[in-house]
Amino acid sequence: MSNKSIGKMIYQLRRKKGMTQNDLAKKMNVSDKAVSKWERNLSYPDISSIPKLAEILGTTVEELLNAQSKNNNIKNDEIFNIILISIGLAMGICIVVTSILKKIDLNSAITMLGIGLCCLSIYLLKNKNNLN
């Protein structure tokens, strides 16, 4: 189960135990709205409550924390992809605008073009498995 988000893991384990969100909330001394937010990955359980949550759901603390860290890695990967694409596009736009305004020299244009192409190339190489 460790390749899932912590929210999906909580949802599936809760359902497997035949509990409602309200049942889990009562056992954890939180509101059912808090459990709903956990399951939708809008918030996370307090770190001090993870052992109790693991016990109630019949899993280990390690499983819950591993799920959470993998979910964060996905978000970090998405942010990195956005940064790579943004830098490439920004360099291209900068070259076009400064060329139109005749405010750029050839060395600066080539440097910006190189930076932009490198970022886009890194993005494509990093995500080539997803494209196939």
Q: What is the arithmetic mean of pLDDT over 35-46?
A: 91
For domain 6-70, give its CATH number from 2.102.10.10, 2.40.160.10, 1.20.120.530, 1.10.260.40: 1.10.260.40
Q: What is the arithmetic mean of pLDDT over 22-49?
A: 93
In this model, does residue 102 exceed pLDDT 70?
Answer: yes
Q: Where are the alpha helices (DSSP H) in 17-127?
A: 21-28, 32-39, 50-57, 61-100, 106-126
Q: What is the structure's pLDDT at 70?
A: 54
Report the mean per-residue pLDDT for the chain. Answer: 87
The H-or-E segment that residue 131 falls in is helix 128-131
Whether the full predicted model's pTM is greater than 0.85, yes or no, is no
pLDDT tens digit string along 52-101?
A: 999 999 999 988 888 765 555 567 778 888 999 999 999 999 999 998 99
Instruction: Domain ranges for the chain, please list them.
Output: 6-70, 74-131
